[in-house]
Amino acid sequence: MMENKKTSLIVKILVPGISILIGLFVIESGLRFVDREEKEDPARQIWVADDRGDTIHKSNLDIMRFSEESKREAHLITNAEGFMGKDYEVEKSENTIRVAMLGDSFLEAIQVDFDQNFAYLLEEKLNSSGDTKFEIMNFGVGGQGTMEELKRYPYYISKYKPDYVLLFFYPNDFENSQYYLSSRYLIQGNNPEWKNIPLENANSNFARDDFKYKLLKNFHLVRFLDAKVRQNAFLSEFAIRLGLQHAGVMGVPEEGIHPTFLIFKDPLPDAHKEVYDFTSELIVFMNSVVGEDGARLGVVYLPQAEQVDDDLWKEEKEDLPVLEKYNWNFDQPNNFLKEKMETNNISYLDLAPILRDYYEKNEDAILYYDKRRHLNEDAHVILTDILAGYIENLISK
C-alpha cells in the first residue's frame, strides 16, 4: 500500500513536469520552424566578437536577411573589416574627403537594403556633383553605446585618417553609458588605460560566454521570452529583482515606466544626471582622440519617436496613465548635449526639431517602423539630404 502511494505521488509530480517539458519542446520547435533566422540559415546571426571582445559583423557578407520590422528580406553587405558597406583602401586618394560614422543600430540599419541606408545614399549624393570625392564609412553596430564607439575608434578607424568623424547619438546611449561609470576616472584623467576598459555593456556583447548568454544564443524560446520581458516594464522589473536581468545606476522600472524613459523626466533624477554628465565627458574625450589624428568630430542627435510624434506620446499616456503624474521634457537630452557640445566647440546637429517639423507638416508621416522602432526607408532619404547639407557646412567652416 505504501509503495502504491509513493508511486502515485511520483506520477503526480512527474506527469505535470513531463507535460511542461513537452510543451516547452513543442514551442521551441515551433519557433525554430517559423523563425526566418533558424540555425541552418547563414544569415541567422550576422554579428560576431572580435579578438578584443568588441561586437562587429561577419566579414564579406552578401546576404538577404529577413527583417521583422520592415517585414521583408533586406539585402545586406559587409566589408572585410566586418562593418556595413564596401571596402575602402587604407590610404586615402588625393582630392578625397573621408567621413567615418559611428553609431548603433540606427546607423547599422539592417531593416533596409544596404543601398537604402542613409550612409550609402549620402556618399552617392555627395559624389553626384563636383570634383571632390567623398568616402562615407559606416562603422555602426547595433546595441552599442558611446563607450563602445570610443573604444572602436583606435582599432578600426584611426588608420583610415578620416577628415571628419560623425557620432550618431540615440537617447538609449545614456543607458549604455551607465555600465561604465566605474571607469570614469580614466576618461577624466586622460589615462592611456582607457583603451583597456572592459566591454561591460550587456547589449549585443557577443564575447560573453556565461550560462545565461549561452541560453540566449541557442534557444529561440529563451530569446523570445527575454525580448518580451524587456519590452514590458512590469515584467522587466520582476526579472531584475529575480536577478534574471541586469540593472545599472538608473535603477529598475517603476510603475510601468522604464528607467531609460526617465531621461525625459523634469527635473532629472540624480542617477540620470550623473549618466548625462558622464556621457558628455565621453563625447568630449572622443573629440580629443579624433583630434589627435587631425579629424574633426561632429555629433548628430537621432531622436526617439516620442520626441517628434505628438500622437505617439498621446497614445502612450492613454496606455499608461501614470505618466500624467510627472513632468516630461522631450527636448531635455538633446538640449543638454547641445549645451555641452557648444561649450566644447564640437559641431552638433539636432535632428529632433527637424523631424518634428516634418511630422507637423505631413499629417500622415511615419518615419519609424511600427511608429517607434528604427528608421524606415523614407526617413533614410530625408536624413540623406539633411546630412549632405550638414557635411557641406562642416567643410566650409
Query: Residues 97, 27: one domain?
Result: no
Which pLDDT does position 77 carry in this prediction? 97
Determine the structural domain holding residue 21 and report its residue range: 1-34
Q: Is 213 a member of any domain?
A: yes
397 residues of the chain, pLDDT tens digit each: 545 544 554 444 544 545 544 544 554 455 445 454 444 455 468 998 888 888 999 999 999 999 989 999 999 999 999 999 999 999 999 999 999 999 999 999 999 999 999 999 999 999 998 889 999 999 999 989 999 999 999 999 999 999 999 999 999 999 999 999 999 999 999 999 999 998 875 445 555 555 555 555 555 555 566 666 566 666 766 666 766 667 778 888 888 888 889 999 999 999 999 999 999 999 999 999 999 999 999 999 999 999 999 999 999 999 999 999 999 999 999 999 999 999 999 999 999 999 999 999 998 899 999 989 999 999 999 999 999 999 999 998 8
Which pLDDT does position 33 carry in this prediction? 52
Kindly state the DSSP code that residue 387 receives in the 8-state scheme. H
Cα 83 to Cα 21, 89, 139, 142, 303: the distances in Å are 40, 14, 6, 11, 23
Q: Is 203 a member of any domain?
A: yes
Q: Is 123 a member of any domain?
A: yes
Query: Residues 99, 20: one domain?
Result: no
Query: Residues 261, 131: one domain?
Result: yes
Which pLDDT does position 28 carry in this prediction? 45
Query: Residues 374, 287: one domain?
Result: yes
Which pLDDT does position 40 carry in this prediction? 41
Query: Residues 20, 99: one domain?
Result: no
Query: Residues 137, 264: one domain?
Result: yes
| Total domain count, the chain | 2
Cα 246 to Cα 176, 211, 272, 361: the distances in Å are 12, 14, 17, 41
Angle at 245 between CA 239 and CA 248, to 5 degrees: 115
- CA–CA separation, 219 vs 214, rounded Å? 8
Q: Is 85 a member of any domain?
A: no
